[in-house]
Structures are given as C-alpha cells and as structure tokens.
Amino acid sequence: MDRHREELATEGYTVVRDAMSPQQLADVRAAFQLHNPDGKHPSGAPSELLHGACLVCKHRAFRAVAMQPTVLGIVEGLLGEDCVLSSSNSAHREPGCEAQGLHRDTSIWGPSMPLFSESVGIQTAWCVDDFSEQTGGTRLVPRSHRASTGATGTIGPGKGAPNAATAAEQAAAITVTAPAGSIILF
C-alpha cells in the first residue's frame, strides 16, 4: 500500500493489479448485464457511452468491490478512516466512440485545488475489461493533480465546464494500461 500511496502523491495515479478476484470480476460483469441486458442506454436509445449511477445501490457485487481491502486501505491511508464514498458510477464506451476530453474531476474545488496541502478526494476506475490504447483506456496527465492552470486545474466557461486542454497538456497525456480486474486510483 505504501508504494501505491507514494505513486498517488508523486504521479497522481497508481494501478492496483488483481484488485478483483476472478469471481468478483465475473460477478460485476453479471451485475452489469443484469442492469443493462441489451447494451442500450437506459433511455432506450443506442449509445456510444453508457452511464450507470449509484451502482452500490443496485447490486451486492458493486458493494463488494467498493469495500476491496487493499483499495480501501490506500484510500483511507490518504483521506482518513472517515472518508466518504460520494458516488459509484459507470461509464462504458463502445469501440470507435469519441474520446472524452481531458478534464479534472474536481470542478467543485476548481482553481483552489493546488492550495490544499492534503488530498481531499480520490477517483477510482475499476477495469471490468482490459484498459489499453486500443480499447480506449483512461487518459490522464501524470503529476497534474497539483496543476493550477489549464484543463486540469481551472474551471472554464459555463457551470463547471473545464477549459480546453492545451497542446502541451494533450502531449503529456498518457493512456493508463491495466488488465481487467485492476483498479486505477487517481
């Protein structure tokens, strides 16, 4: 856990491989199938991007992975034992859909984020499938968690909308690769 906490502190992300057992991974996949059997958006329309909200309320498989001991230990080690799970959502992108733009998932803190001396939040991405360049894995900018400008640090026009990423930020972005069953913390 110390290595993962150090990577979070310095790089802004870490990958915990084999965070889900093969059975947990099968359970999560089955739970997604149960709640979205036809692969369509809940509105009934085909979708390039499927979202699910409040997953821990929908199936025990999601509650089990939210309480995964290694991940919980890393999170509690950084945020404290009184940390709160504020959301448990899913996003599924189909092959060929447009990549999501670079943004910071901290619009409620916006430009003040670099002023915090301690971490105030951690995002996790559970890899139900392999994450790679080819499969559209999560893109991030290493060490941007303390940035004070640009798409990763400021709030742009509109309600919580990030500014467009600069060419330098786009060039610095990496695709995090991880096999199914891993979890990415950032």
List, in sequence order, every beta strand (DSSP E) within the chain.
Answer: 14-16, 49-52, 90-93, 124-126, 139-140, 174-175, 183-185
Q: What single-letter DSSP state applies at residue 155?
A: B
The confidence score (pLDDT) of residue 55 equals: 85
pLDDT digits (tens, 9 = 90+) for 29-55: 888 877 665 555 555 554 444 567 788
Can you list the residues of the chain whose pLDDT is less than 50? 46-49, 150-162
